[in-house]
A and B are shown apart, each in its own frame.
Chain A
């Protein structure tokens, strides 16, 4: 099913590479986990479509950048930008059209709506792409770079670098800009937010748009190291969900730590298991999810009343 980290069973001598690869995958999970977090903190909605927004970002980047040697393709930077902008707009649009009219219906109802969105996005991708898989060249070509004796493919550095930059921008936006502060105000105290004149409803749309943006960007930077398929979304949603819960489900720092931690754990488990076990790799996040939810006594339901006014 879908995208799996590109790993082969390795010897102990490959540990640095295994860890590095885990960190790289972890960056993708971290972006998707922060996407979940932003949407959940502002709206209380668990966005099951996060992986499909990621898939859409990957597919559109491929569509615009095209395979190597296609003379009609757009420059890569423009392709990524366009893909991210379109998916961001899609996130805002879906919130307005699908979530918004039902926003008072409660957590489970809205979760199921996002599962619906997930299916629609998958179907929407299946029609033009078929069940084929697509890949893209790395953003910059050239041999892997050696950092402190560890060989790192160039795209890995793109992934880690982009993640760091995006997290930095997010931090700046949340703490230094008016819109970012208002978004946090909606998380911290929706009633107080309304009392100072913040149109909380609009920030639902902004939160979905931002969530879609983060996922789309993750998809765009991921597509050179994996193959994009129409059904790559759900496994990523699942892993993002695990990362989010592992990180405490509250702070962006936690979500990033959860993402990278999960990425490394997954890489080590898959890297050092016999192939017969590694074939069941998708069970790893599910097992971790069970463990995380059992440990997390407080559960996931925050005070729903707060979101209801």
Chain B
């Protein structure tokens, strides 16, 4: 695996905290994501992974800390604005425009591009990456299968050609076969040089995708793997998920994860 250490930093998060009233969901997390790197964030249910993403992109106003994208400070900006800077979140539970067509969902993904010529070109690229979506252009997003919905959510995120794509729980609630298809798509994205931050409860899946992993527990990063750390995959799985996992158990746990805080 190539190291990304010599590439410029795309996303930098310093000492980020997120709080919901008195509950501190994220406590002083720092991370760096270099261009074309794929960073995985793992941790058990309620570890603060989703809140971390929400704080980074401005869906929730952080209680403290700094965020910068390509060395420009974006901390404290609302999500509508950070999207314009090129930081896009593919949220947990997809959050599609269910009653609208696949095509309209994708076009709305390119909303921040305005009427630029780039839009049809981008649509073509994204439909090439997800051929299923091209076949279902006119179908309502809400009638797609779970896997197709996840692909549409990722595809919609790509439509604005972001600098950094953050994907929250891409495997949540999906059948194993479908998870494989989603993972393949994310791998292809990575191969194309997309900078990715992926939150996953499924540690094996995160390991299969990411260059490095951060492990979160109770709102803080408790462990990192990567260039200068020896990775003991089984130990990681055992330590943070209480023993060797199977996907079914992961999915059941994942189903209870709470993004409903923002909803």
Residue numbers of A with Cβ under 8 A of B are 178, 181-182, 184-185, 188-189, 191-200, 305-306, 309
Query: A178 contacts which of B111, B156, B159 (Cβ < 8 Å)?
Result: B111
A184 to chain B, nearest CB (A): 7
Interface contact A192-B95, CB-CB below 8 Å: yes
B97 CB within 8 Å of chain A: yes
Query: B84 contacts which of A189, A195, A197, A200 (Cβ < 8 Å)?
Result: A197
Known A178-B111, A181-B107; contact A195-B97, beta-carbon cutoff 8 A: no
- Residues on A with C-beta less than 8 A from B107 are 178, 181
Query: B108 contacts which of A185, A199, A309 (Cβ < 8 Å)?
Result: A185
A56 to chain B, nearest CB (A): 32
Interface contact A196-B99, CB-CB below 8 Å: no
Expressed in whole angstroms, the Cα–Cα distance for A103 and B261 within the complex equals 20
Max count, chain A CB within 10 A of own CB: residue among B80, B96, B104, B108:
B108
Count how many chain B residues have C-beta atoms less than 8 Å from C-beta atoms of the other chain.
28
Interface string of B69-113 (1 = CB under 8 A from A): 000000000111001100011010001111110001001110110
B201 CB within 8 Å of chain A: no
Interface contact B98-A197, CB-CB below 8 Å: no
Interface contact B262-A191, CB-CB below 8 Å: yes
Query: A194 contacts which of B59, B100, B114 (Cβ < 8 Å)?
Result: B59
Expressed in whole angstroms, the Cα–Cα distance for A200 and B80 within the complex equals 8
Interface contact B78-A194, CB-CB below 8 Å: yes
Residue in A closest to B60 when the chains form the complex, CB atoms: A309
- Residues on A with C-beta less than 8 A from B83 are 195-197
CB-contacts of B224-263 with A (<8 A): 262-263
Interface contact A192-B97, CB-CB below 8 Å: yes
- Residues on B with C-beta less than 8 A from A194 are 59, 78-80
Interface contact A178-B115, CB-CB below 8 Å: yes
B146 to chain A, nearest CB (A): 17
Residue numbers of B with Cβ under 8 A of A are 59, 78-80, 83-84, 88-89, 91, 95-100, 104, 107-109, 111-112, 114-115, 156, 159-160, 262-263
Interface contact B97-A197, CB-CB below 8 Å: no
Interface contact B263-A198, CB-CB below 8 Å: no
Interface contact B108-A196, CB-CB below 8 Å: yes
Expressed in whole angstroms, the Cα–Cα distance for A181 and B99 within the complex equals 12
Max count, chain B CB within 10 A of own CB: residue among A196, A305, A309:
A196
Known A196-B112, A197-B84, A309-B262; contact A188-B91, beta-carbon cutoff 8 A: no
Expressed in whole angstroms, the Cα–Cα distance for A30 and B97 within the complex equals 27
Interface contact A188-B100, CB-CB below 8 Å: yes
Interface contact B262-A188, CB-CB below 8 Å: no
Interface contact B79-A189, CB-CB below 8 Å: no
Expressed in whole angstroms, the Cα–Cα distance for A194 and B111 within the complex equals 10
- Residues on A with C-beta less than 8 A from B115 are 178
> In the complex, given contacts A178-B111, A184-B97, A196-B159, what are 14 additional A-B residue pairs having Cβ atoms less than 8 angstroms apart?
A178-B107, A178-B115, A181-B107, A185-B100, A191-B59, A191-B262, A194-B78, A195-B59, A195-B79, A195-B89, A196-B156, A197-B83, A198-B80, A200-B80
